[in-house]
Amino acid sequence: MDQIKVYLKDGTHREYPVGTTIGQIAEHISRKLGAQALGGKFNGQLRDLNYPLQEDGNLEILTFESEEGKEIYRHSCSHIMAQAVQKLFPGTQLGIGPAIENGFYYDFDLEQSFTPQDLERIEEEMTAIIKADYSFERQEVDREEAIRLFTQRGENYKVELINDLPSEAAISLYRQGDFLDLCAGPHVPSTGRIKALKLMSLAGAYWRGSERNKMLQRIYGTAFSKKSELDDYLFRLEEAKRRDHRKLGTELGLFTIMEEGPGFPFFLPKGMILRNQLEDFWRELHQRTGYQEIKTPIILHRGLWEQSGHWDHYKENMYFTQIDEEDYAVKPMNCPGGILVYRTQLHSYREFPIRLAEMGLVHRHEKSGVLHGLMRVRAFTQDDAHIFMLPSQITQEIKGVIDLVDEVYRVFGFSYHVELSTRPEKAMGSLEVWEQATNALRMAMEEKGMEYKVNEGDGAFYGPKIDFHLRDSIGRTWQCGTIQLDFQMPEKFDLTYIGDDGQRHRPVMIHRVAFGSMERFIGILIEHYAGAFPVWLAPVQVRVIPITERHHTYAHQVFAQLVEKGFRVEIDDRKEKVGYKIREGQMHRIPYLLVVGDKEQEKGMVAVRARGEGDLGAFPMAQFEARLNQENTWRFQPTSS
Is there a contact between 383 and 363 (Cβ–Cβ < 8 Å)?
no
pLDDT value, residue 476: 85
pLDDT at 637 over 50: no
Sheet holding 13-17: strands in order across?
A: 13-17, 3-8, 57-62, 39-42, 45-47
pLDDT grade for 636, boundaries at 50, 70 and 90 = very low
How large is the average pLDDT for residues 528-549? Answer: 96
∠ Cα 252 257 260 (to 5°) = 145
CA distance 256 to 271: 10
What is the separation, in whole angstroms, between the first and last Cα of the chain?
A: 64
pLDDT at 641 over 80: no
Higher-confidence position of 163 and 429: 163
10 CB contacts (<8 Å, ≥6 apart)?
none
Percent of the chain with pLDDT over 90: 83
Give start-end residues of each CATH 3.40.50.800 domain in the chain.
542-631
Sheet holding 477-486: strands in order across?
A: 292-293, 354-363, 379-389, 508-517, 477-486, 465-471, 415-421, 452-455
pLDDT at 270 over 70: yes
How large is the average pLDDT for residues 63-82? Answer: 97
589 CB contacts (<8 Å, ≥6 apart)?
252, 530, 531, 532, 533, 538, 611, 641
63 CB contacts (<8 Å, ≥6 apart)?
33, 36, 37, 38, 69
Q: What pLDDT digit, counting tens, does each position of 11-21 carry?
A: 898 999 999 99
Catalytic positions are 335, 364, 382, 384, 386, 465, 511
Is there a contact between 356 and 289 (Cβ–Cβ < 8 Å)?
no
Residue 226 DSSP label: S
**Measuring CA to CA, which residue among 104, 367, 392, 66 is closest to residue 221?**
104
pLDDT grade for 460, boundaries at 50, 70 and 90 = confident
How many CB atoms sit inside 10 A of residue 299's CB?
A: 13
| Residues forming a β-bridge with 486 | 509
Is there a contact between 397 and 455 (Cβ–Cβ < 8 Å)?
no
Is there a contact between 606 and 600 (Cβ–Cβ < 8 Å)?
yes
Q: What pLDDT digit, counting tens, does each position of 465-517 carry?
A: 999 999 888 888 888 999 998 888 899 899 999 999 999 999 999 999 999 99
Strands 592-596 and 542-546: parallel
CA distances in angstroms from 78 to 89, 116, 199, 228, listed in the order given: 16, 18, 10, 21
CA distance 560 to 342: 47
pLDDT value, residue 261: 92
SS3 of residue 609 by DSSP: strand
Class of domain 266-528: alpha beta
Is there a contact between 158 and 94 (Cβ–Cβ < 8 Å)?
yes
CA distances in angstroms from 515 to 382, 383, 391, 509, listed in the order given: 7, 6, 26, 20
pLDDT grade for 639, boundaries at 50, 70 and 90 = very low
SS3 of residue 264 by DSSP: coil
Is there a contact between 220 and 78 (Cβ–Cβ < 8 Å)?
no
pLDDT grade for 624, boundaries at 50, 70 and 90 = very high
How many CB atoms sit inside 10 A of residue 429's CB?
A: 20
How large is the average pLDDT for residues 197-218? Answer: 94
Residue 368 DSSP label: G
CA distance 28 to 41: 17
∠ Cα 600 602 604 (to 5°) = 60
CATH of the domain spanning 68-239, picked from 3.90.79.10, 3.40.50.620, 3.90.550.10, 3.30.980.10? 3.30.980.10
Strands 171-176 and 137-141: antiparallel
SS3 of residue 198 by DSSP: strand
CATH of the domain spanning 542-631, picked from 3.40.50.800, 1.10.10.10, 3.20.20.70, 3.40.50.300? 3.40.50.800
SS3 of residue 108 by DSSP: strand
Residue type, position 600, single letter: E
Alpha-carbon torsion (121, 126, 128, 129), positive or negative: positive
**Measuring CA to CA, which residue among 87, 88, 64, 65 is closest to residue 76?**
64
Is there a contact between 184 and 162 (Cβ–Cβ < 8 Å)?
no
Give the total residue count for the chain.
641
Q: What integer best gives the mean pLDDT of the chain? A: 93
Give start-end residues of each CATH 3.30.980.10 domain in the chain.
68-239
408 CB contacts (<8 Å, ≥6 apart)?
285, 481, 514, 515
CA distance 470 to 467: 10
pLDDT value, residue 1: 61
Domain covering 3-63 in this structure, CATH number: 3.10.20.30
**Measuring CA to CA, which residue among 197, 191, 244 is closest to residue 220?**
197
CA distance 162 to 403: 52
| Residues forming a β-bridge with 7 | 13, 58
How large is the average pLDDT for residues 99-114? Answer: 95
CA distance 212 to 345: 55
Tell me the H-state helices in 317-423. 335-342, 394-411
Tell me the H-state helices in 133-268. 143-152, 156-164, 227-242, 245-251
CA 434 from chain centre, in angstroms, equals 26
pLDDT value, residue 599: 93
Give start-end residues of each CATH 3.30.930.10 domain in the chain.
266-528
How large is the average pLDDT for residues 119-137? Answer: 97
| Residues forming a β-bridge with 498 | 348, 504
For residue 446, the surrounding DSSP H or E stretch is helix 431-447
pLDDT grade for 635, boundaries at 50, 70 and 90 = low
